[in-house]
Structure 1
Amino acid sequence: MDVMLLWPWLLGALVVVAVVLAVLGLWLPRRRRDRGLPVAHVDRMTSLAVFRSALLRYRLWIGGALLLSLVGAGVAATVGARPSGIHANQEDDYKRDIMLCLDVSGSMVDVDAEILGVYQQVALELDGERIGMRIFDASSVMAFPLTSDYDYIEAQLGRYQRALSGTLGPDEQFNYLAGTANGLGASLVGDGLASCVLDFADLEASERPRSIILATDNIVNGQQIFSLPQAGQLAVDHEVRVYAINPFDFGGDMESQELRDTAEGTGGAYFPLDFAQTVPQIVERVNAIEAGYIETPPQIQVVDRPGSLPLVALIIVSALCAVAWRVRL
């Protein structure tokens, strides 16, 4: 239980205890005087003006103490009831969606661990964006869906990197290729890219800018449902930018040129795998895209609003102690 939730009750109990002690302090001395010995000719003393003035002052002190006790008890009860109010916190959210799309075919397996390092660095450089990942070969598999849980993203990317580099721990049982061989052929890049495009939920309704970071050598072996240009057009139709990373860009080959044309045709960019340059360039391009406005539901909070009542209770307790001390003199 949160200790802060108990402070109104503790303050109320403190005021009640102070009131009880003050009343006892005023009552007990009087009882002791009542049990004293009788004194002769007291009427002569009580008829004196000085005595009557002192008695009046004493009664005024007693009345003030009782009044403070009643007011203090009321304030303590009010604070103990925890007066509260409702606060609706509406936060504007401007974020982007990013899918990591990784080719895990045989021709890429030697460099995929390095590419996952690029993905990890990109995730570290971004702030608050939703990130997901899909891997593909003959078929594609969702590695993890779009999420803004960066601890989870880091854990998943690290697990795939350890699997691809052969450094899984003895207690880790993880087949990263599971589900990627359910098709005819290998490295079906067009189908993989199309799957990544369709991973964005509510493509037409979402206001979030969408980007794909595609890592592939574009060496296709088999019959695709979507060619790479067709998948690129699908991305254009859904306003998805593709940033392509080619670890085997030898310059002038048709596969690299097709991958470059497709990525740039979506408004994205094409990069050879250069760890020192690729990460900052991709992050710069993604951050340059104006973030979309996301209307988040208001967060309703019930907050304590005692106002100045705790201070009033403290003042009353102090005044009551002072009155009790003065009367006992």
Structure 2
Amino acid sequence: MIFWWVTALLLIAALAVWAITFWNRRAMRRSPVLVANSQYMDRIPSFVRAQRTARIVRVLQVGVAVLAVISASVLSGRIASERIETPEFSSRDIVLCLDVSGSMYEYDTEILATFAEMVDGFEGERVALSIFNSTSRTVFPLTNDYDLIQRELEAASEAIDFDEFGYRLGSQDYSDEKVRQYVEFVDGTRGIPDEASVVPDGLASCAQVFDQAEQDRSRSIIFATDNEVNGEPIFTLEEATERVATRKIDLYTFYPGPYECGPQCFEELQTATEDQDGALYESSDPQAIPSIINEIQKTQAEVLGATPTVVRTDHPMVGFVLTFLTLVGILLLGWRAR
């Protein structure tokens, strides 16, 4: 589009030069008027100033014409900047899979808040949030609407920042609005009476959130649980992690520490995760969540065979404005010189 403007400006300049030349030739064709005894005019100040002005205008015409040629050359030379991008990163899907049983509230709040802060650094990634207790609920599906993601994660972080045990005993006092937010957030995760934290089924459900199975996309689950199962799951933990691996989903497990189960739950979670080439992070690492994101970014680039590409962006504005101004200057000086 910009080169059409350049062509139009050059045509205008050509017409302007032609008009000036035609006018000057027409003036020169007029019969000269001979005036006797006119030598004294060289001593008249106004005549001297007029001659000086005419010389200055001619010099300016030449200078502006040269500047017009230079600016047009710069514009046609296409000044541009270059940057390196890896477009394959837009093919990354991340599902936050959170255990929202009572022992996980504190850690879920931290994960959601930290992840909400990191959304600003995403470029094309799709994110989903799925929560589970005895049953699972998808809070929002995979999307790259970052305003929605950030809004939902911040609301979820605020809602789950709740001490249910203290509230029931009366040692924690919450407003009706705070209780409503909490109840609405965990609604749908307590579908089976007398069961809680059915971890294997929750993980299996999170694996179902991924869509576009036929596309070559990078898929990751950030799985947060203490693995303290209180119920009868359909899957074992090993079966759930195998299900994830079969669908070519990378698993990043966040373990907050023992609640009642102790080392046995940690060892089972670690073995099931690492047997499927997943990675386990503990809450003792203050950089656990950022480390997971960094690892996802590095490994997914390798998996997708991401090749950095050079993106060139034209910057025609300076050349365009300068060319336009010099052409206006040519017209004005031509009118003045006539």
8 A contact 1:113–1:162 mirrored in 2: no
Q: Kindly tell me: are residues 168 and 248 of structure 1, through their superposed partners in 2, closer, same or farther at Cα, counting changes over 3 Å? A: farther
> Kindly tell me: are residues 169 and 99 of structure 1, through their superposed partners in 2, closer, same or farther at Cα, counting changes over 3 Å?
farther
- Contact 1:116-1:157 within 8 A present in 2 as well: no
Structure 1 length-normalised TM: 0.60
> Shift in Å at residue 318 of structure 1?
2.2
Q: How far apart are the structure 1 equivalents of 2:155 and 2:175?
A: 8
Q: State the partner residue of 1:189.
A: 199
Distance 1:121 1:157 in 2: 9
Counterpart code for 2:224: A
Identity %: 29
Residue 161 (1) aligns with residue 157 (2):
yes
1:215 aligns with 224
Contact 2:198 / 2:231 at 8 angstroms: preserved in 1? yes
Conserved? CA contact 1:138–1:180, under 8 Å: yes
- Letter in structure 2 aligned against 1:179: G
Question: Aligned Cα RMSD in Å?
Answer: 5.1
Counterparts of residues 71-82 of structure 1 (less than 5 Å)? none
Q: Shift in Å at residue 259 of structure 1?
A: 1.2
Cα distance in 2 for partners of 1:138, 1:204 equals 31
Task: Specify the code of the residue in structure 2 equivalent to 1:215.
Answer: A
Instruction: Choose the corresponding residue for 1:206, options 212, 216, 231.
Output: 216
Q: Indicate if the aligned counterparts of 1:113 and 1:161 stay in contact, CA closer than 8 A.
A: no
Distance in structure 1 (CA, Å) of the matches to 2:176 and 2:334: 69
Match of 2:87 in 1: 93
Q: Which amino acid aligns with 1:196?
A: C
Tell whether 2:121 aligns with 1:121: no
8 A contact 1:249–1:272 mirrored in 2: no
Q: TM-score, normalised by structure 2?
A: 0.59
1:319 aligns with 2:315: no
Matched residue SS, 2:234: coil
Q: Cα deviation per residue 1:158-191 (whole Å; 9 max; x = unaligned)?
A: 2112112247894995311122123463222112
Whether contact under 8 Å (1:118, 1:275) holds in the other structure is no
Where in structure 1 are there 5+ consecutive unaligned residues?
A: 1-7, 20-25, 27-44, 51-60, 62-90, 295-300, 325-329
- Give the counterpart letter for 1:269 in structure 2: A
Give the CA deviation at 1:306: 6.8
Is the contact made by 1:122 and 1:283 (CA closer than 8 Å) also made in structure 2? no
1:219–1:147 Cα change, 3 Å: same
**Shift in Å, 1:316:** 3.1
Separation in 2 of the partners of 1:186 and 1:130?
29
Partners of 2:109 and 2:158 within 8 A in 1: no
Aligned residues: 261
Q: Is 2:261 aligned against 1:257?
A: no
Q: Equivalents in 2 of 1:205, 1:320: separation in Å?
A: 64
Please tell me whether the aligned partners of residues 122 and 282 of structure 1 are also in contact (alpha carbons under 8 angstroms): no
Conserved in 2, the CA contact under 8 Å of 1:216 and 1:246?
Answer: yes
Hey, what's the Cα distance between the residues in 1 that align with 2:286 and 2:322?
58
Q: Secondary structure at the match of 2:216?
A: coil
More helix by share: 2
Q: 1:230 aligns with which of 212, 217, 239?
A: 239
